Structure 1
């Protein structure tokens, strides 16, 4: 005859995690469990009212844990009520064994454990029930342990393991394995709670780089379970979120924040490869951004008003670039060049096309910068007119003819413009007279003549020209090229002559020029009739008595030929007896209508003291001579 049982007991709800009281609840739960297995009292088969009572009692028992201000209820497993009639004991044993084989251990009154508990309630020495309950406990231990080790669907697995642990705790509260398993369940529950909290934080973008949020929760989970894959995945997700922040910041050119976020990401876990890859991506963003700013800046510089926007691009690039970035260096260098040289570069050589199809004289770009102009107070041979020494700065470079203007250059001007220079109109100029060894007025001499009145070579520097002749040539050349040519200012001339040096002479402080450095009055120079200079550089000879063809000697440090010798040269300034109140920006010091002008630079017949870098001299504006020529500058 089959055993009579009450209707199937209701399954237990899954217990929720309790983060603060779980350790205390574990101990209290054990204390509230009955020492022997607490089975429901066995009653004779009951009628319908009894079955209704059993149905109502087939729920999980509850233990209330009181505190000062609140109470918490903790679930216990209460076996479903089972009623076994006296003549149904054998059948109940068979039903329990069958349920065990089918894996139905505790869910309802027909399961193995409730049946064995009911049998032991009838007879505490029922060996079959004792043995069966022992087998059920072992199986529950194994199944619960397997659930806790399941890598996937941890939440469901831990919920089921928790239910099984409650059953084990009810039937074997003193078993060490059960207690150990219960601790594992509680740790797993707490880890799941931390993981769930961390995932909620991630969804809310509370990553926790400041010590709170997702990272903290996942680390708490790993502290409970170092092998918790879900927590490790959570930390990886938090790291990825921080990396995304870094990359998003980089895309908005906020590389300071990008670096901060990436540094925070590097603290999350030991993932050097991931961080290194992210760093490379951010640096690619930086490089692409800098390349874009450089290219846009260079395009700006190609437009007439592009300097200001190009500088703004440079400011943006400097803000995001690492020190020494070559791309930023390219843009800075190009802006620097445009600022100081326009479309040119320092030392660039060029010549402008003329309207008649020819080319103007060769020019070279003089670097911008500053220098100390004039002679020092203690400089030997200096005059008051060369003082006081004062600082002059050129914020922009300028182009200067590489050599003095040649006879060929001047001829093109005269023939094209039908000009009549001063010496041509006047019919005479000052030449060197070989017979007397003096400079004398000679008829029939003009720009076509050499130092001695003979016809000049086309490559000779043009001489016998007044300052106004030189200015008229500059006006003509400006009209021919569409560029602005003019005589150099006195400051520009001395700046170009010194070429970065600061000595007494253009070559330094040595009292004798370096060999073949220029056309100066040398003690070894000899005239066609054998004359020698009375006041000359001892031991120096350049092989010329008179001006040499332009470019016959080595250029100075800035690529200019003959600027310190060969011919003295007209400059744009009017004569002033000193440099007091002289312009500091290098502009010509010019008074309209002035007749006394300035010549600069040594010449083939100057005394050594007149070859000094600071030497200057006053000349009437109508003067023409075999010792004076000129060169031009052009704005860039």
Structure 2
């Protein structure tokens, strides 16, 4: 709502000025004042007649639309010839009682009536001057009154009309008239702004309360009402911002708060509102996070949890830790279920024992196989290809031990392959060769002598390993299996990409594994013909599991100790190999794959990409296995 232009009072003042007496005229002659009777008609003295005031209307004509403006019309006062003295006394009494102009019994109408009888009446002139000064002071005081301004300005305007009638050329009167007009315009703008606020037209779009209050301040910079109006407009915008925040629409909340910040300069209320909105944001994010975490605890909760994350990301500021926590938990659930990377655990068995210790391998991708220029690589290790695991998996920290395998055999009455046929391949210390020996099975060590409990189990075929995995799955209610070839190489590399699991250098780091070292010596003093120069691990034959340092992902003996069965069938190259890390398996295949170097391998067979074909019935002192488990 916008108010009209100049106030009607200005037009009234201009019209009054055109009808006023010239400066030489002692006093104006009111148009409707009744003249005293001529002296020749002696009338008995009568009390002064005091009539009610009758406001007059002034009409402005012309080509423009007609406008009317109110002016003051003095109440008619009749003074008889013998009533002048009494009229003077009445006027002085009215002045003393601060009754100045409202009725015929007030000071100014009586003084005007006396001057109408005698323009040179000095007492009337002096009394009228006092009344005028009194009226100027009263009007000024009204304009400065902070409360009930509308009533005060209206009364001051009425006094200004009286003064314009009495003394139209007095500069102080003109100044008062201007102040009244200004105050009227300020009030009109403030009232328009308040009406807009009540109607919900705050004015952020340039039409409403804010422009009106600013117009008022442009006229009167210290207008408390206009300043309060702007504060109220600012509060209305802040309320909109907070309502939007409570509805989780923080984009709209930011927009409304930005509009509120434009209303007043450096208002502390904006900072307070920002803190409240940020508090609402934080509470909303905590609520979404907690709901998402509860979703993740349910079997089908991943999708609703992701929806909560989307809602949180839409309203969060960049880098919010609460959202990061929910994202991390969803990421973990997506790739690891209820586990976390590098977590170590073992499943309980139904017979009261524990399964092998497992560690969660991080999800991710790697370049599998050997590069075209890799020294010692075979065609079977090519072409190198990218494999990605969208979900992590758990892998046994060590090779399956003799003790682990004994629990299975005793619980299931199993008869592994070497036990059934009565022989396996061992290392013969006398000849220095690997030979078939009778009476050797899973209970035997690399040389056919009884194996210790924490030695890696050997002399088992790939099917023996798969049967153990099936038994362990039944015992735990979890899915255990042999690792795929891709899983094994990925876990062995543990984030590296060199020729060897430890990098491109030909000599292993100290204590990194059980390899064929030039410093190793057999019980009878034999040394390796082809070995890592300068390396010695102190073992001739497999070492107990976890004797050496784990790799970066916490896995022991991936590149040494024993080579290990994997789930894949043998393929002469990686052409058309799976890119998702699953085992490349053809039902009924006889040739299987072993991965990882062993205690009796040549150095080039310890490379990360090395692979070899083995018949599925093979049992040997150089081959063992470990399992993986789905998570």
What is the TM-score when the length of structure 2 is the normalising length? Answer: 0.95
**How far has the Cα of 1:57 moved from its partner?**
9.4
Give the structure 1 partner of residue 517 of structure 2.
522
Which of 80, 105, 109 does residue 110 from structure 1 map onto?
Answer: 105
Contact 1:63 1:73 in 2 (8 A): yes
Which of 530, 536, 559 does residue 531 from structure 2 map onto?
Answer: 536
Contact 2:570 2:593 in 1 (8 A): yes
Aligned counterparts of 2:169 and 2:272: Cα–Cα separation in 1:
54
Say what the alpha-carbon RMSD is for the aligned residues: 1.6
**How far has the Cα of 1:43 moved from its partner?**
3.5
Gaps of 5+ in 1: 1-16, 47-53
Structure-to-structure mapping, 1:130-169, within 5 angstroms: 130-169=125-164
Give the structure 2 partner of residue 34 of structure 1.
20
SS at match of 1:179: helix
Aligned counterparts of 1:20 and 1:616: Cα–Cα separation in 2:
98
**How far has the Cα of 1:523 moved from its partner?**
0.6
Structure-to-structure mapping, 1:162-181, within 5 angstroms: 162-181=157-176
Which of 11, 22, 25 does residue 25 from structure 1 map onto?
Answer: 11
* Deviation per residue, 1:434-482 (Å, 9 max, x gap): 1111000000100000000011110000000000000000000000000
Contact 1:19 1:193 in 2 (8 A): no
SS at match of 2:78: coil
Aligned counterparts of 1:316 and 1:472: Cα–Cα separation in 2:
48
Give the structure 1 partner of residue 557 of structure 2.
562
Structure-to-structure mapping, 1:272-291, within 5 angstroms: 272-291=267-286
Contact 1:547 1:566 in 2 (8 A): yes
* Deviation per residue, 1:218-265 (Å, 9 max, x gap): 111111111111111111100100000000000000001101111111
Which of 384, 398, 404 does residue 403 from structure 1 map onto?
Answer: 398
**Structure 1 residues 499 and 459, CA gap change in structure 2 (3 angstroms):** same
Aligned counterparts of 1:26 and 1:319: Cα–Cα separation in 2:
62
SS at match of 2:365: strand
Aligned counterparts of 2:93 and 2:209: Cα–Cα separation in 1:
48
Aligned counterparts of 2:441 and 2:84: Cα–Cα separation in 1:
149
Aligned counterparts of 1:247 and 1:32: Cα–Cα separation in 2:
58
* Residues matched between the structures, number: 614
* Deviation per residue, 1:186-212 (Å, 9 max, x gap): 000000000000001001110011122
SS at match of 1:535: coil
Give the structure 1 partner of residue 45 of structure 2.
none
**How far has the Cα of 1:65 moved from its partner?**
2.2
* Deviation per residue, 1:146-165 (Å, 9 max, x gap): 10011110000000010001
**How far has the Cα of 1:24 moved from its partner?**
5.8
**How far has the Cα of 1:294 moved from its partner?**
0.2
Aligned counterparts of 2:162 and 2:436: Cα–Cα separation in 1:
134
Contact 1:44 1:83 in 2 (8 A): no
Contact 1:352 1:481 in 2 (8 A): yes
Give the structure 2 partner of residue 43 of structure 1.
36
Which of 450, 472, 478 does residue 477 from structure 1 map onto?
Answer: 472
1:509 partnered with 2:509: no
**How far has the Cα of 1:380 moved from its partner?**
0.6
1:372 partnered with 2:363: no
Contact 2:12 2:58 in 1 (8 A): no
Aligned counterparts of 1:516 and 1:38: Cα–Cα separation in 2:
124
**Structure 1 residues 105 and 23, CA gap change in structure 2 (3 angstroms):** closer
Which of 56, 65, 70 does residue 70 from structure 1 map onto?
Answer: 65
SS at match of 1:393: strand
Gaps of 5+ in 2: 22-26, 42-48
* Deviation per residue, 1:484-535 (Å, 9 max, x gap): 0000000000000000000000000001111111001011111111111111
